[in-house]
Amino acid sequence: MKKVMRKVGAMLLAASMTVSLAACGSSKDESGSAKDSDGQITLTIWHQSVADTDPVKKIIEDSVEEYHELHPNITIEQDGVTGEQYKTKIKTAFAAGEAPDISYMFSGGSFVKPYIDASYLLPIDDYVSEDTLNSVLPGMLDGCTFDDKLYTLPTVTFLANLYCNTEMFEDAGAKIPTTWEELLDAIDKLNAAGYTPMILGEKDRWPGMYMYDIISARTAGNAGLEEAFGDPSKFNSKPFIEAAEKLQELVNAGAFNKNMMSMSYDEMVEGFAAGQAAMLYQANWVHPSIQAEDSPTNGKVSCIAFPVIKDGAGSITEFSGGSSDGYYINANCEHPKEAVEYLEYLSKKIGQVGYQQGAGLPCWDTTGVDTSGLTPLDTESAGLMETGTSYISWWDNILSSEDSETYKDLLAQLIGLQITPEQFCESMSKLSPSDFY
């Protein structure tokens, strides 16, 4: 009897272990949309606005409650993960068929294109209302359209500017630069006065990319860049070699902080906000850090368009940036109509409220929107955008993921003086063509 009991006991133990395993395996599929008996609809949205300095975080969180009040039968579930992890998470989720109804996608074409090609995302032409389309600013739907089908709506847009710490410029007796010569002159004077002229966080590689993006826009002009994206062999030509030389000229002039290769993007922005350097070339999403109440540079920073280069094809009204991040609907979403309605609501809200709070520049009609909350820096940046005649998105949004990595790696080597401008352009000419400019 005892033996039998023991055997039974062992069996029971093993059985219970197997059952508990099985229980882990069959967890409920919570990511898909669900509609229960009384017509309740749940929509899920994933985004990457998790930083407290990001005004979009609060807009999304508020929208969840507000939207439920407006539409009591619809419940929104939001979930955010920070940038790089988000890329990994969303990719895995789509591959596993567990993607949310609505997902954030980085601006420009190259990030979202593979998802569209794989038919993971839903064209929204059939659902979106005419009213909504009419209140989007002209041209802003271009970046949302792929193969003549509309996939998303714009929110806010970003523009890269040169941020100058006016206090340091005055102290060093330097002039806020409008031409390349003035820039070099300012760098010398700032160096002589003991300031780091320009701060760069090249550990993450993309801050350096912004430098070459704009310098080559000044030498080749945005039209020249567009040509080169369509036919990369054009990268191996005079304006691009010249741009690479100019970038190395900055390095040799001691423009950048000595520890740029080990400095991350966050350290760079916080460093500028803490007054470690006189200039920063970044997009206007750095405003919250600079304008933080405890920031020593608050109110001392002015933003300008990047200086022009003599004999270059580019003009001061050409900008880097101008594209908009967007939220996309899952092709397997069970309630596309409701999802698109929420998308219209959210995109417009981020566009208008986000603009009010300095998250970015508007893609939507903002007549009647109260802009009294905008700081002088926000207004300055918005003013620059109004002067713009042509915009080119960040290159890593234009080039394919693989080429973007190659480009950023090459650029780090260029800035580190590891390769010559000719070698750089030679390698760039081997990239694949892209039509997402």
Partner 1 sequence: MQKILSNKKAIALFLFPTMFLMAVFVVVPICMSAYYSLLDWDGIGKGTFIGFQNYIDLIADERFLNSVKNSLLYAACSLLIQLPVSLILAIIVANVRRGEKIYRTTFFIPVIISSVVIGQLWQKIFNGDYGLLNAFLSLLGIPGQDWLGQESTALAAAFIPNLWQYIGYHMLIMYAGIKSISPDINEAARIDGANKVQIAWKITIPLLKPILQVCVTFSLIGALKIFDLIYVLTGGGPFFSTEVPTIYMYKTIFDSFRYGYGSAIAIFVIIECMILTFVLRLFFRDKEKY
Q: Which residues lie near partner 1 (CB under 8 A)?
A: 3, 6-7, 10-11, 14, 17-18, 21, 87-88, 91, 94-95, 114-115, 117-118, 120, 202-205, 258-263, 276, 400-402, 404-405, 409, 412-413, 416, 418
User: Rounded to the nearest whole angstrom, what is the least distance from the CB of residue 205 to partner 1 in the complex?
Assistant: 7
Distance CA 384, CA 375 (A): 14
Q: Which pair of structure tokens corresponds to residue 314?
A: 């580019």
**HSE-CB of 135 using CA atoms within 13 angstroms:** 19
Pick 86 or 180: Cβ nearer partner 1 = 86
User: Rounded to the nearest whole angstrom, what is the least distance from the CB of residue 257 to partner 1 in the complex?
Assistant: 8
User: Rounded to the nearest whole angstrom, what is the least distance from the CB of residue 78 to partner 1 in the complex?
Assistant: 23
Distance CA 225, CA 231 (A): 10
167: exposed, middle or buried (Cβ count in 10 Å: 0-12, 13-18, 19+): middle
Pick 1 or 21: Cβ nearer partner 1 = 21
Note whether 212 and 408 are within 8 A (CB).
Answer: no
> How far from 106 is each of 45, 159, 408, CA to CA, in Å?
15, 15, 17
Pick 13 or 133: Cβ nearer partner 1 = 13
Distance CA 258, CA 237 (A): 30
Pick 233 or 418: Cβ nearer partner 1 = 418
Number of Cβ within 10 Å of residue 82's Cβ equals 12
**Dihedral sign, CA of 394, 396, 399, 400?**
negative
DSSP secondary structure code for residue 233 in this structure: G
Pick 90 or 350: Cβ nearer partner 1 = 90
Q: Residue 81: which residues within 8 A CB-CB, separation 6 or more?
A: 46, 48, 50, 89
Pick 46 or 115: Cβ nearer partner 1 = 115
Alpha-carbon 371 to chain mean position = 23
Pick 42 or 406: Cβ nearer partner 1 = 406
User: Rounded to the nearest whole angstrom, what is the least distance from the CB of residue 204 to partner 1 in the complex?
Assistant: 8
User: Rounded to the nearest whole angstrom, what is the least distance from the CB of residue 202 to partner 1 in the complex?
Assistant: 8
User: Rounded to the nearest whole angstrom, what is the least distance from the CB of residue 25 to partner 1 in the complex?
Assistant: 9
Pick 195 or 391: Cβ nearer partner 1 = 195
Distance CA 321, CA 159 (A): 5
User: Rounded to the nearest whole angstrom, what is the least distance from the CB of residue 111 to partner 1 in the complex?
Assistant: 9
User: Rounded to the nearest whole angstrom, what is the least distance from the CB of residue 382 to partner 1 in the complex?
Assistant: 33
Note whether 213 and 394 are within 8 A (CB).
Answer: yes
Distance CA 326, CA 219 (A): 31
